[in-house]
Chain A
């Protein structure tokens, strides 16, 4: 009957790249041999709609069994004959369709609208555009398109059972607009308010206090990295803040009207708005509950995207989420995706109803999965099939209890704050490289804690939901099906055996899907493999420009050391000590200046060289090299420079040190860019550095200038540096390598996946080599 009803019909579909949409396309191709599809796909930023169709839909493993069954040639011709892709966007009026697209839409017998912003933490305004306005937009456009061809179309909208909101007891398959359980609020004013919120928050984000706060946050994150980077970072923080505010506002508005989150709230008002569209268009609304992996079709366990319950379950199995709130006796209403698809197609095959008809596709009222039961199944499963950590050890499951949501939240918030504090302290300490390994663990822990908090926030209400979604309409529809239909399109929620489905179908599928470690083998292999991959990219023989910072990247010394060495080289022991003592006294203030602005610091410090004889310094620099710098080099750094040169890469040293100090290192590099000091009329150093020293932001410019000079693009550059002040150069370079990074840079490097090198001095040198000349 379904096959017959939909035979030779054309179905318009939105949301084809989504979970339900993809399964629906596969089912149509597989079971409805003469039905055609018109897909509305939004072009991506880089890919056209057609390309997205190829990459995001056809490449999905959903189609594997069909392709294997008919052969890829037939599959291809099947797709070409029966599927048309039109560009458009449910977020804009008229669905962004051109004339041709509208014509095609008008020829469609049924339209299925399954596009939605499913994320629970979408900003209110974008959730409103897609979820609230989407259905009516589709309805309006479809009706108008049909009017041209003189037909009355049938629109099937995919909504969610959770439009019922945080209400206990039975939820009926009826219009929200007509129910007195829901506040009489105009959806139009909700749209207007959401749009206004966006502009208000945008304005607020630009007030003085906020901008100052963002700048401070950015500075804490990237340090003295230069204006451009700081500005960029500041605005990114501002945008994130705007988004966060809109999420919070959405959640607050939803809660005030009795919905758990902006998703359910906007979907609910989407239905209410849709209910005004009844004339000249038949409308059915399908409300699935939580859609999970497939029971049978296309194969048991098929799933797409990381959905709601999966991250929670995986986090639990990885030991990240110790507790999760929920009512043990409560129902967690889950429905396999293929049942949803079957229901949608069965509804689509019906004659369009006179008045809008609603169908719940949910399991809770007829075949409930209890929350406690789910927990037991999950615990048993991971007890038998544990996940493994990087060391190849099985992860121990935390005791999953049922404390109230607010208690867990309080704990998590506290943990989060503590971790943040430790992180801030770590970034203030003068620690580098491997000494900071605890900080990198910390970052991971903080991420985990944050994630856990988000889950509790987002999904907590679903686990605590005590609504009972009645399925009378759905079962009535099922009763009308014949045996052929039931063979291919049975959507009876009662057929799911949870005791089998959860451990045998669903859990193995999401474990595989989430690519977690399920075997103790190849421990640390992923990290090691990543490091190998990074290194082979770095040591790729194609032409490259490789820039190195000097201090703490190649040598664990700085400009102050060099000065101390050179200035004491020719002094008597007594004078030497006086000299060093004065430098030590000045130490803290110099350090402070260095932290706030490196360029100022260098200029201030270099004044000390005023009046020195450049020839003598040049001569003494050889001793500096042999007796001090070479004793403090990182041999691995020297080896790396030489490796690059052996590969034919062009190497450049970019340093704020003075040229006569680094001249003895010249043969190591192809080129050296260093600070230069001017000479007065008597041939003595002036202590002034006329050109900006090559540090901070100017390094990025130097890198790109040198690259251009050698006919290389920035993509073909590699930068090695140790400090956040080098961020502009690291960001500009094609590949960034952080050497013994300080705390801030370590965090940034880990997030960006940059290679981190922990290089040290050769073993055996005294840990403290004083920068005093004339000793060895």
Chain B
């Protein structure tokens, strides 16, 4: 049987309670009769011969690109950049798809006799990856042969000597890139496309750029004009990145883009209840739900977190395409939408969502309140084409413990952002104009970004901008089960139960509100008519 498409379920009296993420655990919530629950399509059938598909993509590029072998020559300088630890979520079971692609590229390079090969993790302003994470992404064979020779690098946007300013786009945007990428004879980019925002020109133009360059599209004005930033044709974020991408191409940087798409087979068998529609749960799934919930509830938060972060996802490949950036990305988006798109008729007054333990920026770490905000109002709110799932002036209800917990090693500037900025204002525009510069230029944050494993000082600001469109659009935000202090610090209202939250929402949207629940996992993208 081929995978069933996604659909919108209308809740009636016989509908069992709906499963929702609640941070490191889950909750079953009874939604009001008449609510609609959006279920994503089932995982697509995977590519059976992964190595064969990779080989095929490299030898049959799309767009006006020659096959990889034709682009390789013995005394060339080859740079392979790859997506960092923020993708995919959770980390996939070994071998990571990046490892398989990089190994294949290296075989090709070796057969041609290319000697000057450098690998770069395209961090942008993310934290540096740890040794364990790098080994996981590229495989120990690659790590051990490249890292000791200093050939496995992590992009350092603050290493002025190793950044090259290529010029300004026609819109006056600075384009500044990693010197290795600019000076390479060929830059191969290895991407994982989990959501439609990823990939395309954004891979290089953002992943290997500097603060000076990134701030042209990571800002409040751009983000409120990206509706949504998951829909590149209506996204200022992407328009800017595409301008920069074309500028980079015109500047002579030769890019061979390899993009991969994964199906939504996100959790291992023991968590199969997460992906099964509730009324179809088997006895085993009921039992494993109860077991998992009980043990996660009983465990102290840090232990529950460690358990969940140890989960490795059995993601499977649904497509791999290589060649010219824009043509490759078109194919990629087709694959992403094929897996994630659900059609929805009409917006609702209330949008509910359960927030999981993980987002792109807290892999192996803590989901702090700012990341909770970004995951809900940045990522999940924006999983739409055409119109948001919730009407203008509507309410988003998110379920998450939202504890004021922070990773002082990975997120030092987040702590100060929470203590020093959010205590003054939550208005993205004021935050941007008043505080961004001082955090972005702060030598201590820069030191930790470059030498430890900390996100760049400006990163929490981007998280806040990510939610700017939602903030403008919404009439209120409620966090169910959220720590009251931390929730109010974000400018939201805490509620102890979903019923209370819906009751509170009626004071904003009126009585008998319509409600849509975004059922994750896995991820879905709503096309709202």
A667 contacts across to B, CB distance below 8 A:
443-444, 447
Q: How far, in Å, is A238 (CB) from chain B's closest CB? A: 47
Tell me which of A668, A764, A774 contacts B302 (CB under 8 A): A764
Q: Which residues of B contact A668 (CB under 8 A)?
A: 444
CB contacts (< 8 Å) of A762 on chain B: these are 405-408, 415
Shortest CB distance B236–A (Å): 34
Partner of A635, one of B412, B451, B452, B453: B412
A642 to B415, CA, bound (A): 13
- Scan residues 589-624 of chain A and give those whose CB is less than 8 A from a CB of chain B: 622
Q: Smallest distance from the beta carbon of A773 to chain B beta carbons, Å?
A: 11
Interface membership of chain A positions 550-589, coded 1 if the CB is closer than 8 angstroms to chain B and 0 otherwise: 0000000000000000000000000000000000000000
Contacts A631-B408, A642-B444, A763-B405; A622 near B302 (Cβ below 8 A): no
Within 8 A of A (CB), among B70-90: none
**B404 interface residue, CB < 8 Å from A?**
yes
* A566 CB to nearest chain B CB (Å): 16
Chain B 444-465: CB-based contact to A (< 8 A → 1; otherwise 0): 1001100111100000000000
Judge whether B412 and A764 touch: CB under 8 Å: no
| Bound CA–CA A626/B447 (angstroms) | 11
Cα-based distance from A631 to B406 in the complex (angstroms) = 10
Interface positions, chain A 278-304, Cβ under 8 Å from B, are none
CB contacts under 8 Å to A, within B396-420, are: 403-409, 412, 415-416, 419-420
A641's closest neighbor in chain B, by CB? B444
Q: Is B303 an interface residue (CB 8 A)?
A: yes
Tell me the complex Cα distance, A642–B412, Å.
13
Residue of B nearest to A631 (CB): B409
- The reply on A421 being an interface residue by CB < 8 A is no
**Smallest Cβ distance from B330 to chain A, in angstroms?**
39
User: In the complex, which of the residues A632, A635, A642 contacts B406, with contact meaning CB atoms closer than 8 Å?
Assistant: A635
The complex places the Cα of A96 from the Cα of B452 at a distance, in Å, of 72
- Give CA–CA (A767, B302) in the complex, Å: 9
Q: Is there a chain B Cβ closer than 8 Å to A378's Cβ?
A: no
Task: Give complex CA distance A626, B420 in Å.
Answer: 23
Report if B270 contacts A (CB, 8 A). no
Q: How many angstroms between the C-alpha atoms of A121 and B444 in the bound complex? A: 58
Determine whether A483 belongs to the interface, using a CB cutoff of 8 Å to chain B.
no
**B393 lies within 8 A of chain A by Cβ:** no
Interface residues of chain B, those whose CB is within 8 Å of chain A, are 130-132, 300-303, 306, 364, 366, 368, 403-409, 412, 415-416, 419-420, 443-444, 447-448, 451-454
Cα of A776 to Cα of B300 in the assembled complex, Å: 19
Q: How far is the CA of A766 from the CA of B132 in the complex (A)?
A: 20
Say whether, besides A635-B412, A761-B408, A763-B404, A630 and B452 are in contact (CB < 8 Å): yes
B409 near A764: Cβ-Cβ < 8 Å? no
Chain B CB within 8 A of A638 CB: yes
Bound-complex Cα distance A764 to B131 (A): 23
- Closest B residue by C-beta to A763: B405
Distance, CA A764 to CA B303, complexed state (A): 10
B405 adjacent to A764 (CB under 8 Å): yes
B81 to chain A, nearest CB (A): 23
Question: A664-B452, A762-B407 given as contacts; is B412 within 8 A of A776 (CB)?
Answer: no
Contact assessment for B444 and A765 in the assembled complex, using a CB-CB cutoff below 8 Å: no
A764 touches B406 (CB 8 A): yes
Q: List 15 A-B contacts (CB under 8 A).
A: A626-B130, A626-B409, A630-B409, A630-B448, A631-B409, A633-B408, A664-B451, A667-B444, A763-B405, A764-B301, A764-B302, A764-B366, A764-B407, A776-B364, A776-B453
Bound CA–CA A763/B366 (angstroms)? 10
User: Once the chains are docked, how many angstroms separate the CA of A97 from the CA of B408?
Assistant: 70
Residues from chain B with Cβ under 8 Å of A631 in the complex: 407-409
CB–CB B451/A776 < 8 A? no
Q: For B412, list chain A residues within 8 Å (CB).
A: 630, 635, 638
Per the bound structure, the CA–CA distance linking A19 and B409 in Å amounts to 63
The residues of A that contact B301 with a CB separation of less than 8 Å are: 764
Closest Cβ of chain B to A101, distance in Å, is: 64
CB of A626 within 8 A of CB of B453, answer yes
A627 within 8 A of B: yes
**What distance in Å separates the Cβ of A518 from its nearest Cβ neighbour in chain B?**
34
Residue of B nearest to A666 (CB): B447
Measured CA separation A668–B404 after assembly (Å) = 25
Q: Nearest 10 pairs between A and B by C-beta?
A: A764-B405, A630-B409, A626-B452, A762-B408, A762-B406, A766-B302, A667-B447, A635-B415, A763-B405, A626-B453
CB distance from B137 to the nearest CB of A (A): 15
B413 to chain A, nearest CB (A): 10
A627–B409 Cα distance when bound, in Å, is 7
Is A625 part of the contact surface with B, judged by Cβ < 8 Å?
Answer: yes
CA distance A626 to B129 in the complex (A): 11
Known contacts A764-B302, A766-B303, A630 near B447 by CB under 8 Å: no
Chain A residues near B419: list those with CB within 8 A.
Answer: 635, 639
Contact with B along A625-656 (1 / 0, CB 8 A): 11100111101001100100000000000000
Residue contact B408 to A635, C-beta cutoff 8 Å: yes
B366 CB contacts on chain A under 8 angstroms: 764-765
A776 touches B132 (CB 8 A): yes
Write out, one digit per residue, whether chain A residues 484-501 have a CB within 8 A of any chain B CB (1) or not (0). Answer: 000000000000000000
B441 to chain A, nearest CB (A): 12
A283 shortest CB reach to chain B, Å = 73
Q: Which residue of A lies closest to B452 (CB)?
A: A626
Query: Bound state CA distance, A763 and B408, in angstroms?
Result: 9
Find the B residue at minimum CB distance from A634. B408
Give A727-759 interface residues, CB cut-off 8 Å to B.
none
Give the distance in Å from the alpha carbon of A667 to the alpha carbon of B409 in the complex: 16
Let me know if A639 and B416 touch, CB within 8 A: yes
With a cutoff of 8 Å between Cβ atoms, the chain B residues found around residue A642 in the complex are: 444
**Given A626-B409, A639-B415, A776-B132, list of 4 further CB < 8 A pairs?**
A622-B452, A630-B452, A639-B416, A765-B366
B364, B409, B416 — most chain A CB neighbours (10 Å) = B409
A552 to chain B: closest CB distance in Å? 16
Residues of A within 8 A of B454 (CB): 626, 630
Please tell me if the beta carbons of A765 and B408 are within 8 angstroms of each other in the complex. yes
With the chains together, A391 CA to B169 CA distance in Å? Answer: 63
> Is there contact, CB below 8 Å, between A630 and B416?
no
| Nearest-Cβ distance from residue A112 to partner chain B, whole angstroms | 63
Chain B residues near A761 (CB-CB < 8 A)? 408
CB atoms of A763 and B409 under 8 A apart: no
Task: Tell me the complex Cα distance, A765–B411, Å.
Answer: 12
Complexed CA–CA distance, A764 and B365 (Å): 10
Complex interface: chain B residues within 8 A of A626 (CB): 130, 409, 452-454
Proximity bits, A221-260, B CB within 8 Å = 1, else 0: 0000000000000000000000000000000000000000
Contacts of A774 in B (CB 8 A): 131
Closest to B127 in A: A626
Question: Do B130 and A630 have beta carbons less than 8 Å apart?
Answer: no
Q: Which residues of A contact B303 (CB under 8 A)?
A: 766
Encoded as 1 (CB less than 8 Å from any B CB) or 0, chain A from 152 to 190 comes to 000000000000000000000000000000000000000
Q: A626-B452, A630-B408, A667-B443 are in contact. Are A765 and B364 (CB under 8 A)?
A: no
> In the complex, what distance in Å separates the CA atom of A761 from the CA atom of B412?
12
